[in-house]
């Protein structure tokens, strides 16, 4: 039952992450915010793990979990926060990082043996065109304003895209054995250390503890960092990696609707056409994703 509803629940939860991150970005710098978030996540998960007496993974598995955590949490979330702080709308951030299946399809063949078919590639190209249509109207290489965003936002959002792609592939290759809670804890330990180091090196670490910031942090810690991430790990373990990552194509429209309702973010007809193309791409990709060939070393129960 969980696996049946997991894709729909994941899309909904993951979409709220962009909303919460946008709120948090107003009151704290990116890596400072993530350091606080990951510290709170560990404060919840570690006692849970000790009470339930989970089986901790061997050192190689823990190491790979740490690598995955740095890529998925520090680099991906740090890039998202950076882009939002540089005035990139939450809906646009969501649609750029939702093109993860394009990079995943390029790498999953040689790395995992998951070779996409012709129909899969048609969907990927359709999604890429959609992203370009969404980005074009507000793209600015000048200083960011309330109407446009600058080069820092682009570096952040595409860095996030690369981080999430590599993290997902690494999780599929090396992090599928052992207790999911234990593996997740190791991911957040690495994410906390690397985020704290980045914050100390590059930020003032000043936080405005407003009710909005506290509420956004609580939502991201409990619902996103624990609920959605564990759900993602379950889906990656149960499915081909290209099939799971195609779910990210469903996030942008959901996020755009939420952002329009909460922040008044408006989209042009050209951008809405782009979102429609991206949404259509997932229906082309998902039937083919289930036919990928996975090598025996990556099929683990």
Which of 26, 55, 108 is closest to 298 using CA atoms?
108
pLDDT at 88 over 70: yes
pLDDT > 90 in the chain, percent: 28
Q: Is the pLDDT of residue 155 over 50?
A: yes
Closest CA to 76 of 188, 162, 138, 143: 162
Residue 144 has pLDDT above 50, yes or no: no
**Residue 106 pLDDT > 80, yes or no?**
no
For 52-86, the pLDDT digits (tens) are: 888 888 888 889 889 999 999 999 999 999 998 88
Q: How far apart are CA 156 and CA 75, in angstroms?
A: 9
Q: What mean pLDDT is predicted for residues 172-181?
A: 71
At residue 158, does pLDDT exceed 80? yes
pTM above 0.85, yes or no: no
273 and 135 Cβ atoms separated by less than 8 Å? no
User: Secondary structure of the chain in the HEC alphabet?
Assistant: CHHHHHHHHHHHHHHHHHHHHHHHHCCECHHHHHHHHHHHHHHHHHHHHHHHCCCCCCHHHHHHHHHHHHHHHHHHHHHHHHHHHCCCCHHHHHHHHCCHHHHHHHHHHHHHCCCCCHHHHHHHHHHHHHHHHHHHHHECCCCCCCCCECHHHHHHHHHHHHHHHHHHHHHHHHCCCCCHHHHHHHHHHHHHHHHHHHHHHHCCCCECCCHHHHHHHHHHHHHHHHHHHHHHHHHHHHCCHHHHHHHHHHHHHHHHHHHHHHHCCCCCHHHHHHHHHHHHHHHHHHHHHCCCCCCHHHCCC
Higher-confidence residue of 51 and 228: namely 51
Token digits for 246?
């195609």
pLDDT, residue 112, reads 64
**pLDDT of the residue at 5:** 72
Q: Tokens for 55, please give them.
A: 């089986």
pLDDT, mean over the chain: 78
Q: Is the pLDDT of residue 26 over 50?
A: yes
Spatial contact of 144 and 153, defined as CB atoms under 8 Å apart: yes
* Residue range 240-292, pLDDT digits in tens: 455 565 666 667 777 777 777 777 767 777 777 887 887 777 667 654 444 43
Distant-in-sequence, close-in-space partners of 110: CB < 8 Å, separation ≥ 6: none
Is residue 214's pLDDT more than 80? yes
Residue at token pair 């078919």: 117
Q: What is the dihedral of CA 264, 265, 269, 270, to 10 degrees?
A: 170
Is the pLDDT assigned to residue 195 strictly greater than 70?
Answer: yes
Pick from 245, 103, 220, 85: nearest CA to 161: 103
The residue-averaged pLDDT of 20-40 equals 93
Q: Is the pLDDT of residue 27 over 70?
A: yes
Could you tell me what percent of the chain has a pLDDT over 70?
75
Number of domains in the chain: 1
> Is residue 33 predicted with pLDDT exceeding 80?
yes
pLDDT in tens, 110-134: 666 666 677 777 877 887 788 778 7
For 64, the domain range is: 2-298
* Burial 17-41, CB ≥16 within 10 A → b, else e: bbbbbbbbbebbbbbbbbbbbbebb
Q: Is the pLDDT of residue 141 over 50?
A: no
Please measure the distance between the N-terminal and C-terminal CA atoms of the chain and give it in whole angstroms. Answer: 18
Is the model's pLDDT at 146 over the cut of 50? Answer: no
Predicted pLDDT of residue 39: 96
pLDDT of residue 290: 42
Higher pLDDT among residues 187 and 100, named by residue: 187
């Amino acid at each position: 039952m969980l696996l049946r509803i997991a894709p729909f629940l994941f899309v909904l939860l993951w979409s709220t992450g962009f909303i919460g991150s946008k709120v948090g970005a107003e009151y704290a710098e990116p890596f400072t915010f993530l350091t606080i978030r990951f510290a709170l996540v560990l404060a919840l998960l570690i006692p849970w793990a000790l009470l339930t007496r989970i089986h901790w993974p061997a050192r190689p598995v823990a190491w790979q979990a740490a690598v995955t955590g740095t890529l998925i949490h520090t680099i991906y979330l740090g890039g998202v926060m950076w882009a939002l702080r540089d005035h990139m709308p939450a809906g646009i951030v969501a649609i750029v990082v939702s093109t993860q299946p394009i990079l995943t399809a390029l790498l999953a063949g040689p790395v995992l043996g998951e070779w996409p078919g012709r129909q899969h590639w048609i969907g990927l190209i359709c999604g890429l065109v959609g992203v370009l249509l969404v980005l074009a109207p507000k793209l600015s290489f000048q200083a960011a304003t309330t109407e446009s965003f600058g080069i820092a936002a682009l570096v952040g959002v595409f860095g996030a895209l690369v981080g999430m792609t590599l993290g997902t592939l690494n999780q599929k290759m090396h992090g599928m054995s052992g207790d999911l809670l234990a593996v997740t804890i190791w991911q957040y330990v690495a994410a906390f250390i690397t985020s704290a180091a980045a914050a100390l090196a590059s930020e003032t670490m000043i936080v405005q503890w407003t009710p909005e910031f506290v509420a956004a942090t609580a939502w991201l810690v409990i619902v996103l960092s624990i609920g959605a991430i564990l759900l993602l790990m379950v889906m990656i373990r149960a499915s081909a990696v290209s099939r799971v990552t195609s779910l990210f194509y469903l996030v942008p429209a959901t996020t755009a609707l939420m952002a329009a309702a909460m922040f008044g973010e408006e989209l042009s007809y050209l951008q809405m056409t782009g979102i429609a193309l991206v949404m259509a791409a997932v229906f082309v990709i998902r039937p083919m994703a289930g036919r990928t060939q996975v090598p025996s070393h990556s099929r683990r129960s």
